[in-house]
Structure 1
Amino acid sequence: MFRDGHLFPAIGIPSSYAPADCRLFDNTDEYVGFLDSIRYSMKITTARRRGIFEAKRRDDPYRPAGKPRRIGKFVSFDRILQIDPAGALVLAAEFDRARRRFGARLPAVNVPNWNPEIRRTLEGLGFFTLLEIGEKPPMLSLEDQTGTWRVAPFLSDRRVSPELAGPPLQTLVSALGVEDADFFADTKLRQLFRSVVDGMANVVDHAYPPLAVVFPHVGRWWLTGAVDFENRRLTMTLYDQGITIPASLASNADKTNLSARASLQKLLRRGPTDADLVEFAVNNHVTTTGDEQRGKGLGKLLSFVDACETGELRVMSRRGVYKYTKGRAATKAELACSIGGTLISWQVGL
């Protein structure tokens, strides 16, 4: 077991196994179901459970060499064979919430037995280091990773932080051969940067209203990016664990801007699915602030995708999925269970 910078023997029982295919975009329902199950298994809320948890934490946390430590139940990653950047980000966000909200010290168990490519992807994401699971193994550079997508370390904050989004985006496009001067001059890349910052602002302004989120949250967004060297593709993914687009529109219809209010109320009378509401948010200038100057962010993302040589936009919120690929008709789908928030992913060719 590897935890808090220490590697030592341990005895535990897997509470669940991650599926072999952890690609959020290709094995959606199975993977989202797995995430939903671990979300509740890592929840520690009652005073009694917290007391037991803290007592175990204080009681001889590092036993002498050769004497296994009992860790109880854990989530096993031994069987994962595939994972995509979005799947890795949502997984990291769930572990990050458990650590921040419930004080959980989460172990990485049987790491040497993990699929090498999966381990390198999670190392590149910063899964071990940024979640304080330990100081090693280190984050891997884009060049040291293998597989189709090379993942950048994830970022997370409670604020709108343009200074956090700029450097990693510049690193990713530089890895694809884009010069620094071209990065600042390229209209499409500037628009991508603004889209990321707008996404942060939406999370900060709308995702976590008081008393509106059922599951305990930490009020943060999570961001990562990845590059595909062979096909010169770039992807950026932003995730939050907030109220979701469908819940926000359904509960705040009377607060939306006047230009969208009538059409939204008409849609709500028909009993829309989550996917219908996500589609409405993407294709209409709508905001629950009532400010006509707000609510244009998702529509700008469509314009950005169309401005690129190739591109794809995917929005997943609660159970709804909206996908647009340049040159094709948009599609939508309904998931078997909630993704636990909202995820926006851009994938473009450079």
Structure 2
Amino acid sequence: MIIKVPEVLDLVDHRANTLEVAAACRSNCMIHKKRTLLDFSATKTISSAAVLFLVAEIDRCRKVSGIAMLTGTFPRDKRLNRQMRDSGFYDALGVKCDIPQRERIYPVEYIKVRSGTAADGRLAVELRQALLGPHEEQLAKDKRGSFFRGITEAMTNVAQHAYPDDWDNGPIKVIKKGWWMLGHINKLSKQLKIMIVDQGIGIPRSLPRTHKDVIPALLAMLKLENSDGAMIHAAMELGRSRLEQSHRGKGLNDLKQIIDLCQEGTLRILSKKGEYLYRVRGGQCLPTIVSGHQDSLNGTLVEWSIPLDAILPFLLINEVGNEEK
């Protein structure tokens, strides 16, 4: 079976097309048991979030159904070819890229997709080293572990909440407690972006299992009707209000707090049919956007972005004494 991949893949303006590619992979490999080829010959653009989302789906299909069940072709666009190489897309597909590794014209420095079933502190260290490079020795000792604690907490949240033991996903098998993560630095826009995705039940379904009693009060406080987007917002508010001290979004709130401290950044969460967007610009917190979609992501994707110019002063030790900037 040949899947003609569209010209553009992303989870904003081309969400439906991107989800359709993933659904076709699942259906072909897991239900119909047909070998599948992803044809990227017409593809020109894939957003980082779409890269991670599709790599997770490809990885699941190949691990569950067999590595011979799914592979792909090279895109004609050289820029996209380099992106797929550097992000780990080709590794997931089992395709060997013929572009020399030393050729790095693409302006995004990737931490290749990593996956696991438990929190992995090594990934946090690798992200930190890639971010700071030669400046890492200036990093305040107490922030070596604390800065990326939100990332490891996000992994822990997946293991604890995304894959309940009584969950029946039908013929579509899952990688139990599986998460996939991608990080990169865009040298042109000077942005750090970290993303994590799982293929679990999603925040709108997991939250009522653990906080059923407080959800009506939370939604009333937020002045929101019950929806997938509203449930994500409610999860982010747990622990910030007097209603509850423990909450599913602990790691996500750590990432949100760093945005507040740096006074710049974006946190976007997609889960099932819901979307949550938190933004700070120039020290001003913009209105939180809660929205919904007709199609379901079938899991949760978290995208955290922050300008390097905002985060490096926050991380590095002040040259005068040992106080942090």
TM-score normalised to structure 2 length? 0.80
Q: Which amino acid aligns with 2:55?
A: A
Aligned length: 298
1:273–1:73 distance in 2 versus 1, CA, 3 Å: same
* TM superposition shift of 1:349: 0.7
Q: Which amino acid aligns with 1:172?
A: L
User: Is the 2:174–2:199 Cα contact (8 Å) retained in structure 1?
Assistant: yes
User: Is the 1:36–1:339 Cα contact (8 Å) retained in structure 2?
Assistant: no
1:248-300 per-residue CA deviation (whole Å, 9 max, x = no partner) reads 1234444x6xxx45525869xx86110111111112328xxx99445433333
1:293–1:105 distance in 2 versus 1, CA, 3 Å: same
Residue of structure 2 equivalent to 1:204: 159
Residue of structure 1 equivalent to 2:186: 228
1:32 is matched with which residue: 19, 22, 46? 19
1:153–1:106 distance in 2 versus 1, CA, 3 Å: farther
Measure the CA separation in 1 of the matches of 2:7 and 2:142: 39
Report SS of the residue matched to 2:112. Answer: coil
Measure the CA separation in 1 of the matches of 2:235 and 2:302: 12
Q: Which amino acid aligns with 2:51?
A: A
Q: Which amino acid aligns with 1:181?
A: E
Residue of structure 1 equivalent to 2:48: 85
* TM superposition shift of 1:235: 0.3
2:9 is matched with which residue: 14, 22, 26? 22
1:230–1:77 distance in 2 versus 1, CA, 3 Å: same
1:344–1:330 distance in 2 versus 1, CA, 3 Å: same
How do residues 136-215 of structure 1 correspond to structure 2 at under 5 angstroms? 136-137=97-98, 140=101, 144-147=104-107, 149-174=108-133, 179-185=135-141, 187=143, 191-214=146-169, 215=172
1:218–1:37 distance in 2 versus 1, CA, 3 Å: same
Q: Which amino acid aligns with 1:273?
A: S
Measure the CA separation in 2 of the matches of 1:139 and 1:334: 42
Q: Greater CA deviation, 96-105 or 27-36? A: 27-36
Measure the CA separation in 1 of the matches of 2:93 and 2:139: 33
User: Is the 2:25–2:58 Cα contact (8 Å) retained in structure 1?
Assistant: no
* TM superposition shift of 1:96: 0.3
Measure the CA separation in 2 of the matches of 1:158 and 1:250: 23
Residue of structure 2 equivalent to 1:119: 81
1:135–1:116 distance in 2 versus 1, CA, 3 Å: closer
How do residues 1-350 of structure 1 correspond to structure 2 at under 5 angstroms? 14=2, 16-44=3-31, 49=33, 73-106=36-69, 108-111=71-74, 113-129=75-91, 131=92, 133-134=94-95, 136-137=97-98, 140=101, 144-147=104-107, 149-174=108-133, 179-185=135-141, 187=143, 191-214=146-169, 215-219=172-176, 220-254=178-212, 260=214, 263-264=217-218, 272-285=226-239, 292-295=245-248, 296-326=250-280, 327=284, 328-350=286-308
Measure the CA separation in 2 of the matches of 1:43 and 1:139: 34
Deviating 4+ runs (over 6 angstroms): none
1:204–1:73 distance in 2 versus 1, CA, 3 Å: closer
Residue of structure 1 equivalent to 2:318: none
Report SS of the residue matched to 2:197. Answer: strand
1:180–1:121 distance in 2 versus 1, CA, 3 Å: same
Structure 2 residue runs without a partner (length 5+): 309-325
1:277-335 per-residue CA deviation (whole Å, 9 max, x = no partner) reads 1111112328xxx9944543333322111222520000111111101110311112212
Percent identity of equivalent pairs: 23
* TM superposition shift of 1:108: 4.1
User: Is the 1:253–1:264 Cα contact (8 Å) retained in structure 2?
Assistant: no
